[in-house]
A and B are shown apart, each in its own frame.
Chain A
Amino acid sequence: MISAGIDIGSRSIECVILNNGKIREMRKIDTGFDPIGQAKQLLKGLEFDTILATGYGRNLFEIEHEATTITEIKAHARGAVCFFPGAITVLDIGGQDSKVIKLNESGKVIRFEMNDRCAAGTGKFLEIMAQTLGFNIDTFGIEAAKAKKDLKISSMCTVFAESEVTSLVAKGENPNEIARGLHIAVVKRAVSMLNRVSSQGPVVFTGGVANNPFIREQLARITKREILVQKTPEMNGAIGAALIAMEQNKGKEK
C-alpha cells in the first residue's frame, strides 16, 4: 500500500510517500502565503492510496482533499517511535513553534506542552538572528561552535533579541560568540519546557532545528541526556502522518 503524509507547517510543508511503511519519496516546499496552493504544488505527480494531513494547515487541507487529519503532536510522536522504538520523550522545534511530548511504553501520548505564542526559541528566531549577524542559516550552528567564550544573550523575544544583537555588534563583540550566545538561549528555553514535561531518559529531537549541530551538542551538554536525531528530522511529522495513514487504512480493509 502507498500511503502519504503531509505536514503543513507555518514555515514549510513536507510530504512523505511510504510504500508498505518504507520511505519511497520525500518532498519539501516553503509554505509562503498560500498553503493550499503550495501543498497542491508539492503533491503534483505523486500517487498514493491514502493521505493524512497534519500541521497547522491540516483542516484547510482536509476540506480541500477529503483527507483525514491528526494533530502534529500525534504525528511527531508516531514518527519518533518509528525511528527510535521505546522513545518516551520528544522535543520538536519547528519553524514557528516548539513542543515537548511525553509517551508511555506503548507509544501513546500522555502529556505535551507547546510554545506557540511567539517565535522565541524557534527556527524563525534563529533565522532572523543569522540574518542580523550576516550568517547563512544552514551553517549558523557551525559558526556558533567556533566561538571561544560564552556571551550571554538575555532577551528571548525575537524583536528585543534582534536589537540586543545589533548593539552587541556595535560594541565590537565577536559575531561567532554572539551566535553561540543565541544558540544557548534557544537551548535553555527548550530545556525548561523539556524538564517540566519529562525530565529523564533519552530525548528524540525532531523538526528543522534538529539539523543544527550546535543546538544538538548544547542540548546534550545542558541536559546530560542522550539526544537522538534521525537523518531528516524536519520530515518526522510527515513520516508519522504517513505511518498513521497506512495503519488506519489497514484497519479499514479488515
Chain B
Amino acid sequence: MKPDLLKKLQHITEQNIIDIENHKKNGNHAIGFYCLYAPTELAVAANAIPLPLCGTRQAPIEAAEETLPRNLCPLIKSSYGFAATDTCPFFRFSDIIVADTTCDGKKKMFELMSEIKPVHVLQLPQQQNFNLFLEPWKNEIKNLKTVMEETTGNKITLEKISNAIKLLNRERRAKKRLMDVAKAKPSPLTGTQMVEILFKTGFFADKETGIDLMNEISDECETLIERGDSPYTKETPRILLTGVPIGLGSDKVVKILEDSGASVVAFENCSGYKQTFQVDETCDPILALAEQYLSIPCSVMSPNHGRIELLDEMITNFQVDGVVDLTWQACHTYNIEAFQIRKFVNDHFHLPYLHIETDYSESDTEQLRVRIEAFLEMI
C-alpha cells in the first residue's frame, strides 16, 4: 500500500484525539462501548461519539491483577486495567460506559468498573430464539435510548435513529469492502495492516472521515490487485483467523503467522467480519436494531449456529488454505466451541485447523512459533 495512505491514517489518528477533545469542549458527549452487541446507532442518534473500549494491550494488565483474578481473560483484565489506571484517553473521554452481560467475566468486571465511571449494563440474552428473547432485548434497547437521552440531554427521534442506521450501514459496507479486498489471490494487504486500519478507524470521531479513508484504501487496493501488486505470491498459504477479537497490542498471532510465511486474509471475529452486517432500513428502527444485533454470532450464544454459517461462507469466498482458531486464556465459551469449529473445518472443508490458547504477553512467542510453523507445514 502507498506510504502516503498509511501516513494519512496516522495523521487522522493523531488529529482524532484533538477532534474528540473539541467535541467535548463544545458541550457534546462521548459514549464508551465494550461489546459489539450494544447498538452504537443510539449514541450517534444522540449526537454523541461512540468509542470502542475493549482493551487490547498488555500494559495495564498488571495493575488490573491487583483487583481481578490473574486467571481471567486478558481482554477483560486489559479493559479494566485501562480504566483503573486512567491510561486510555478514550475511556477518559467517555461520559458513560455501555456494557453488556456478554460473558461471566465481563459482567462481573463491569460491577467493579462502575465504581470508576457510570456503567449502564444491557441484559444480553444468551440465545437467539426471537420468540422468547427478542421482546426483552428490544426493551433493553429502548432503555438504552432513554439513557442516551439523559446522558446527552438530546432527544432521540425515530428519524434520528433511522439516519444513524443509514450512516453506520454505510460504515459497515465500507468496512466489508475493505476486508473483501483480501479475497484477491494474492491479497494486496497484509493481515497486520488490515488489523491496524480496522483498529484505528474504529476510534474516529467523524464517521464520514473513516468511511472516506476506508474507501480510499479499498480503491488503492483494487488498483494494486489489477496490477498484480502484492506482498505475497499465489502460493502463499491463505489463513482465516477465527475466535476472539484482536487489535493493536493483541495481534501477536497474526504477526507470527505472517513472519512464518502465511497471509492472514480473513478475520472471523468481532473486530473483523462480524461487523459487516446490515441493519434493515425499512422497518421500525428499534426492532431492526434489536433483531440485527441479537443475531451476532458470538460464542456466548447457545447454540451458536451463526458462527458456523459465517465460517462456511468466509472459508469459501476467501479461498482459505487453513483455519487458526484463537482463544484468549480463560475464555470458556470460545475454548469449548473450538471443538465444534475443528470438527466443522476438518469434516466439511478438509482443511488444516489449529487451536491456540494464549494471552497478550510475549512469554509464549517461541512455543507459538513451533505450533504455527508446524501448522503451516500441514498445508
**Interface: A217 (CB within 8 A):** no
Q: Is the CB of A71 within 8 A of B367?
A: no
Look across to chain B and name the residue whose beta carbon is closest to the beta carbon of A70. B377
**Interface: B228 (CB within 8 A):** no
Q: Is the CB of B370 within 8 A of A74?
A: no
Within A142-181, which residues are at the interface with B (CB < 8 Å)? none
Q: Report the minimal beta-carbon distance from A99 to chain B, rounded to whole angstroms.
A: 9
**Interface: A108 (CB within 8 A):** yes
Q: Is the CB of B374 within 8 A of A108?
A: no
**Interface: B371 (CB within 8 A):** yes
Residues of A within 8 A of B373 (CB): 71
Q: Is the CB of B352 within 8 A of A56?
A: no
Residues of B within 8 A of A74 (CB): 374, 377
Within A71-109, which residues are at the interface with B (CB < 8 Å)? 71-74, 108-109
Residues of A within 8 A of B366 (CB): 56
Proximity bits, B196-211, A CB within 8 Å = 1, else 0: 0000000000000000
Q: Is the CB of B378 within 8 A of A109?
A: yes
Within B336-379, which residues are at the interface with A (CB < 8 Å)? 352-353, 364, 366-367, 369-371, 373-374, 377-378
Q: Report the minimal beta-carbon distance from A193 to chain B, rounded to whole angstroms.
A: 13
Complex Cα gap A136–B377 (Å): 39
Q: Is the CB of A73 within 8 A of B352?
A: no
Residues of A within 8 A of B371 (CB): 112, 114
Residues of A within 8 A of B369 (CB): 59
Residues of A within 8 A of B364 (CB): 117
For A116, give its contact among B352, B353, B367 (CB under 8 Å): B367
Residues of B within 8 A of A116 (CB): 367, 370
Residues of B within 8 A of A59 (CB): 369
For B370, give its contact among A72, A108, A117 (CB under 8 Å): A72
Q: Is the CB of A71 within 8 A of B377?
A: yes
Look across to chain B and name the residue whose beta carbon is closest to the beta carbon of A110. B378
Give the total number of A-B pairs whose CB atoms are below 8 A apart: 31
Residues of B within 8 A of A108 (CB): 378
Complex Cα gap A114–B355 (Å): 11
For A56, give its contact among B353, B370, B377, B378 (CB under 8 Å): B370
Complex Cα gap A70–B373 (Å): 8
Within B69-85, which residues are at the interface with A (CB < 8 Å)? none
- The size of the chain B interface, using a CB distance under 8 A, is 12
Complex Cα gap A116–B370 (Å): 10
Residues of A within 8 A of B377 (CB): 70-71, 73-74, 109
Q: Report the minimal beta-carbon distance from B349 to chain A, rounded to whole angstroms.
A: 13
Q: Is the CB of A71 within 8 A of B378?
A: no
Within A36-87, which residues are at the interface with B (CB < 8 Å)? 56, 59, 70-74
Proximity bits, A108-122, B CB within 8 Å = 1, else 0: 111110101100000
Complex Cα gap A56–B368 (Å): 11
Given contacts A108-B378, A110-B378, contact A71 B370 (CB under 8 A): yes
Complex Cα gap A112–B353 (Å): 10
Residues of B within 8 A of A71 (CB): 370, 373-374, 377
Complex Cα gap A215–B145 (Å): 64
Q: Report the minimal beta-carbon distance from A220 to chain B, rounded to whole angstroms.
A: 27
Chain A CB count within 10 A is highest, among B364, B370, B371, B378, for B370
Q: Is the CB of A109 within 8 A of B367?
A: no
Q: Report the minimal beta-carbon distance from B237 to chain A, rounded to whole angstroms.
A: 15
Q: Report the minimal beta-carbon distance from A109 to chain B, rounded to whole angstroms.
A: 5
Q: Is the CB of B378 within 8 A of A114?
A: no
Residues of B within 8 A of A70 (CB): 377
Residues of B within 8 A of A112 (CB): 371, 374
Complex Cα gap A15–B373 (Å): 22
Look across to chain B and name the residue whose beta carbon is closest to the beta carbon of A116. B367
Complex Cα gap A109–B370 (Å): 14
Complex Cα gap A59–B369 (Å): 10
Q: Is the CB of A73 within 8 A of B367?
A: no
Complex Cα gap A70–B375 (Å): 11
Residues of A within 8 A of B378 (CB): 108-110
Complex Cα gap A161–B52 (Å): 45
Complex Cα gap A59–B365 (Å): 13
Residues of A within 8 A of B370 (CB): 56, 71-73, 114, 116
Q: Report the minimal beta-carbon distance from B24 to chain A, rounded to whole angstroms.
A: 45
Residues of B within 8 A of A109 (CB): 374, 377-378
Look across to chain B and name the residue whose beta carbon is closest to the beta carbon of A73. B374
Complex Cα gap A70–B352 (Å): 17
Proximity bits, B74-115, A CB within 8 Å = 1, else 0: 000000000000000000000000000000000000000000
Complex Cα gap A211–B352 (Å): 32
Complex Cα gap A195–B367 (Å): 22
Q: A70-B377, A71-B373, A116-B367 are in contact. List 15 more A-B contacts (CB 8 A).
A: A56-B366, A56-B370, A71-B370, A71-B374, A71-B377, A72-B374, A74-B377, A108-B378, A109-B374, A109-B377, A109-B378, A110-B378, A111-B353, A112-B374, A114-B371
A-B contact pairs, 13 of them (CB 8 A): A59-B369, A71-B370, A71-B374, A72-B370, A109-B374, A109-B377, A109-B378, A110-B352, A111-B353, A114-B367, A114-B370, A116-B367, A117-B364
Nearest 8 A/B pairs, CB to CB? A73-B374, A71-B374, A71-B373, A116-B367, A74-B377, A109-B378, A71-B370, A112-B374
